[in-house]
Amino acid sequence: MKRTIKLTVCYDGSNYSGFQRQAKEKTIQQELEEKLARVCGEPVTVTGSGRTDAGVHARCQVVSFSTEGTIPTANMPRALNSILPEDIRVLRAEEARPGFNARKDARRKEYEYRIRFTPEPDPFTCNYVWQMKEKPDMNKMNEAAELLLGRHDFSGFQSTGSTQVSPVKTIYRSCWETEADGTLVYHIAGNGFVYHMVRNLVWSMVQIGLGKKPPQAMAEELTQKRGEFENSPAPAQGLYLARVEYELYKD
């Protein structure tokens, strides 16, 4: 009998060329599909809630797939973790309603972006945070972050190469926090994100925090939708897909 499975996975993206399967590069999707084929006894194609770029991490990525394999759902995490590389872990496996699609059915996604101040770059954290020598002003960054809340056209924060249909997205959470060890963490949740949106936003907020442009510049871009805001993506290694939420029941 065909089952549809919702798998929650966690990965360190440092050694992968992103989530999506590619011809020659090692990717998260390829690793998952190879190991799922062994566990399910048949070829498996997974759909992720979204792609993560090379070097981007995931605390809770969600992928869906369907299989006629007989392994009990509850046994999947242990079976997969015993053969997956240690930098990819399966946290949960749940049976979902037929037709469940991790990408199309996602209703809210949350990311975090981590920045650390280091007078000397630290080789042991360079894959996990954006290392900076100068400390931006957290008040200014939070002032800019608050402007993002609500429904906006994010054309100005979209990198070229995007295949996104609508640049209008609703942001539910947007704030900077400081952790005990001094790491700055940006939290953003929304109903969707255009290509490179979080990294472009972080870069712009850091420029604002460093006094290179006023928070007002960001407000203007969001209200006037010029689609020409000058920005460039913050480094991939600071970005973590933190959570994906779904409407689990539908009529």
> Can you give the binding site for a copy of itself, defined by CB under 8 A?
10-12, 14-15, 57, 81, 86-89, 91, 120-124, 126-128, 131
Residue 153 catalytic? no
- Rounded CA-CA distance 69/86 in Å is 24
Shortest Å distance, C-beta 56 to a copy of itself: 13
Is 195 annotated to bind ligand? no
Shortest Å distance, C-beta 49 to a copy of itself: 18
What residue type is assigned to position 28 of the chain?
I
- Rounded CA-CA distance 147/174 in Å is 9
Q: Would the CA dihedral through 154, 160, 112, 136 be positive or negative?
A: negative
If DSSP codes are grouped into helix, strand and coil, which group holds residue 236?
helix
Shortest Å distance, C-beta 77 to a copy of itself: 9
Which residue number, 128 or 195, has a Cβ lying nearer to a copy of itself? 128
Please tell me the total number of residues recorded for the chain in this structure: 251
* Cβ within 8 Å of residue 131, ≥6 positions away: 115, 116, 117, 118, 121, 122, 125
Which residue number, 121 or 211, has a Cβ lying nearer to a copy of itself? 121
- Rounded CA-CA distance 230/233 in Å is 10
Q: Would the CA dihedral through 59, 21, 93, 66 be positive or negative?
A: positive
Q: What share of the chain is helix, strand, coil (3-state, %, to 5)?
A: 25, 30, 45
Which residue number, 112 or 221, has a Cβ lying nearer to a copy of itself? 112
DSSP 8-state assignment for residue 87: T
Q: Which member of 53, 122, 137, 251 is catalytic?
A: 53
Shortest Å distance, C-beta 91 to a copy of itself: 8
Which residue number, 60 or 149, has a Cβ lying nearer to a copy of itself? 60
Helices marked H in the chain: 28-40, 76-81, 138-147, 197-209, 215-224
Shortest Å distance, C-beta 30 to a copy of itself: 16
Which residue number, 162 or 232, has a Cβ lying nearer to a copy of itself? 232
Query: Binding site residues for substrate, as ranges?
Result: 111
Annotated binding site: 111
Q: Give the catalytic positions in this structure.
A: 53
